[in-house]
């Protein structure tokens, strides 16, 4: 409070006090304006994030729901600004679709991964023995975030990882990354290699290994490193049994056997990734095993029927009757009396007839012929 004194008059003006109040109010408005400005910059990102997490075709999000979500974050707005923000996101290339009518709203249409694709990837992670149980659950959780929360709940209900046969090497995720880095940089690696003991613990081999890595290959639900070993030539190592993997300064040794053909072609010629000479073979198998052979050797396998036939002859001796006897069977059964029997085929139960018929006796002979010829 400032006072001015004049002769016979005293005037009092709250000048500085009012000026201070005005300055404080201006500063408060400035802070609120800045806060709203910062929040407004984030508004369109909040809208996109909410739509990605909460919307799908069966559950569109209404504009009023977006307004309520933004107000909880301290961002006042109305439906008109929501419409303009949605239009801006659509112009940017986000596939936001509109569902008209009662219960309508907005939802994300085309996502980076559609729900069937996410389910397929999750199924692959679940069934992979190469991944540990913990890493499998972690990857499944990350994959479920690629769809809406409602769809993610549906996906998580079908996840079963516990109890499956899984890898126990916790560092395998990072070991694979080191191997791939070595391949990219054209460098050799060193590592330790172990076998499982009867006590369930790893037993490390005496020496450290050095190899030139050329590729990773999945076979029989396991991951293998195809590499050139200085001592053993081209070798397949189980990645889950490799530890202490390190990059070496030395460049990879050249390996025409792996660079001259695709790794897939090389691996297809190996059983369970064991090393050995490559030879051409001919196999004879029953046609019921065709699916197994094609699954193992691929569609390029050439199959031929061997053309051999096995013929067995069965007889059932008897005599022809002059009158019909019985109502079972078919054809000549009421008129045929088998040798040593007092009833016609038509008077016998089906299982009785099948035990002595010519067909049954032919099949018995054929079974004996197969056993003798194929030693089975």
Residue 304 has pLDDT above 70, yes or no: no
The per-residue pLDDT for 246 is: 93
Do the beta carbons of residue 252 and residue 188 sit within 8 Å? yes
| Residue 284 counted as domain residue | no
CATH number of residue 36's parent domain:
1.10.10.10
**3-class secondary-structure state, position 217:** strand
| pLDDT bucket at 222, cuts 50 / 70 / 90 | confident
Give the pLDDT mean for 172-185: 88
pLDDT in tens, 305-314: 666 667 888 8
Measured distance CA(228)–CA(255) in Å, rounded: 7
| Residue 6 counted as domain residue | no
pLDDT in tens, 330-361: 888 888 988 888 899 889 988 888 888 888 88
Domain count along the chain: 4
- The residue from 123, 157, 191 where one domain ends is 157
Are residues 181 and 234 located together in one domain of the fold? yes
Are residues 143 and 71 located together in one domain of the fold? no
User: What is the extent of the structural domain holding 264?
Assistant: 174-268
Task: Identify any residues that bridge with 349 across adjacent strands, giving them in sequence order.
Answer: none
Cβ atoms < 10 Å from Cβ of 142: 10
| Residue 287 counted as domain residue | no
Higher pLDDT, 314 or 372: 314
- The residue from 209, 241, 268 where one domain ends is 268
| pLDDT bucket at 31, cuts 50 / 70 / 90 | very low
| Residue 167 counted as domain residue | no
| Residue 135 counted as domain residue | yes
Are residues 235 and 216 located together in one domain of the fold? yes
User: Which of 33-42, 49-58, 252-261 is predicted most confidently?
Assistant: 49-58
Are residues 135 and 206 located together in one domain of the fold? no
Measured distance CA(125)–CA(121) in Å, rounded: 6
| Residue 7 counted as domain residue | no
Residue 22 has pLDDT above 60, yes or no: no
């Amino acid at each position: 409070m400032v006072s001015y004194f004049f002769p016979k008059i005293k005037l009092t003006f709250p000048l500085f006090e009012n000026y201070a109040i005005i300055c404080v109010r201006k500063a408060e408005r400035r802070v609120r304006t800045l806060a709203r400005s910062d929040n407004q910059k984030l508004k369109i990102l909040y809208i996109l994030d909410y739509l990605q997490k909460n919307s799908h075709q069966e559950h569109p999000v209404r504009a009023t729901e977006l307004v309520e979500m933004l107000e909880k974050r301290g961002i006042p707005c109305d439906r008109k600004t929501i419409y303009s923000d949605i239009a801006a996101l659509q112009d940017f290339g986000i596939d936001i679709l509109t569902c008209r009518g009662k219960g309508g709203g907005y939802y994300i249409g085309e996502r980076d991964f559609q729900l069937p694709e996410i389910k397929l990837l999750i199924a692959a992670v679940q069934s992979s023995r190469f991944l540990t149980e913990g890493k499998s659950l972690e990857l499944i959780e990350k994959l479920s975030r690629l769809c809406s929360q409602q769809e993610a709940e549906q996906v998580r209900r079908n996840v079963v990882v516990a109890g499956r046969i899984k890898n126990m090497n916790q560092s395998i995720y990072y070991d694979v990354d080191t191997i791939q880095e070595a391949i990219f940089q054209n460098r050799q690696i060193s590592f330790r290699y172990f076998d499982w003991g009867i006590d369930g613990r790893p037993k490390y081999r005496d020496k450290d290994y050095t190899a030139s890595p050329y590729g990773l290959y999945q076979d029989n639900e396991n991951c293998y490193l195809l590499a050139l070993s200085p001592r053993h030539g081209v070798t397949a190592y189980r990645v889950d049994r490799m530890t202490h993997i390190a990059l070496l300064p030395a460049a990879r040794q050249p390996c025409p056997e792996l660079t001259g053909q695709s790794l897939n072609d090389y691996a297809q010629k190996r059983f369970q990734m064991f090393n050995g000479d490559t030879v051409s073979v001919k196999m004879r198998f029953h046609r019921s095993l065709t699916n197994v052979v094609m699954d193992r050797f691929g569609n390029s396998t050439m199959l031929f029927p061997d053309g051999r036939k096995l013929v067995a002859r069965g007889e059932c001796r008897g005599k022809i009757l002059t009158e019909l006897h019985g109502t079972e069977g078919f054809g000549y059964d009421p008129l045929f009396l088998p040798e040593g029997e007092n009833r016609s085929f038509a008077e016998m139960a089906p299982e009785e007839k099948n035990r002595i018929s010519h067909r049954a006796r032919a099949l018995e002979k054929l079974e004996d012929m197969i056993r003798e010829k194929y030693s089975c």
